[in-house]
Structure 1
Amino acid sequence: MYRKIVPLALLATLAGCSDSQDTIKASFHKAAQASLDTRYPHCFVISSFPTKTQDFDVHGTNKALHALAQVGVVSEKEISRTEIPARLWSPARTDIYYAYDLTDEGRKYYKAGAGLCFGKAQVTAIEQFSEPSEATGQKLSNVTYAYKIIELPAWAANDQVKASIPGLGQAVASNAAPLKETRTLVLTGQGWVDDQLLAQ
Structure 2
Amino acid sequence: MHRSSKTSRACAALALAATLAGCNGKSDPTKENFTQAVQKHLDAIDPVCVVSGPVPFDLPDLQTYTEKQADVLVKVGLLAKEPTRVMESGRMLPGFHYSLTDEGKKAYRPANPAAGSALCGGKSQVQAITWSSSVPDKAEVGTTVDVRYTARLIDRPRWDDETLLGPMHIELISTTNDMYNGENFLELTNDGWAVKQTPGWR
Which residue of 1 is the match for residue 131 of structure 2?
128
CA deviation string 1:123-144 (max 9, x = no partner): 1101123443278874443322
Q: Letter of the aligned partner of 1:102 in structure 2?
A: L
User: Is residue 74 from structure 1 mapped to residue 75 from structure 2 by the alignment?
Assistant: no
Change (3 A) 1:27 1:169: closer
Q: Which of the residues 105, 115, 118 maps onto 1:115? A: 118
Q: Is the Cα–Cα contact under 8 Å of residues 173 and 180 in structure 2 kept in the other structure?
A: no
Which residue of 1 is the match for residue 103 of structure 2?
105
Q: Letter of the aligned partner of 1:162 in structure 2?
A: G
Which residue of 1 is the match for residue 169 of structure 2?
165
Displacement after TM superposition at 1:100 (Å)? 0.9
Which residue of 2 is the match for residue 191 of structure 1?
192
Q: Is the Cα–Cα contact under 8 Å of residues 77 and 100 in structure 1 kept in the other structure?
A: yes
- What are structure 2's unaligned runs of at least 5 residues? 1-24, 87-92, 112-116
CA deviation string 1:21-67 (max 9, x = no partner): x9922111011122334542554123222211169999x54222211
Q: 1:1-200, aligned counterparts within 5 Å?
A: 24-53=30-59, 60-80=65-85, 96-113=94-111, 114-133=117-136, 138-157=142-161, 159-168=163-172, 170=174, 173-181=175-183, 183-196=184-197
Tell me the C-alpha RMSD between the 2 structures: 3.6
Change (3 A) 1:185 1:160: closer
Change (3 A) 1:185 1:54: farther
Distance 1:191 1:57 in 2: 51
Change (3 A) 1:33 1:75: same
Distance 1:185 1:28 in 2: 8
Displacement after TM superposition at 1:72 (Å)? 2.7
TM-score after normalising by structure 2: 0.62
- What are structure 1's unaligned runs of at least 5 residues? 1-19, 82-94
Count of aligned pairs between the two proteins:
160
Displacement after TM superposition at 1:158 (Å)? 5.8
Which residue of 2 is the match for residue 12 of structure 1?
none
Q: Is the Cα–Cα contact under 8 Å of residues 47 and 116 in structure 1 kept in the other structure?
A: no
Displacement after TM superposition at 1:73 (Å)? 2.1
Identity across aligned pairs (percent)? 31
TM-score after normalising by structure 1: 0.62
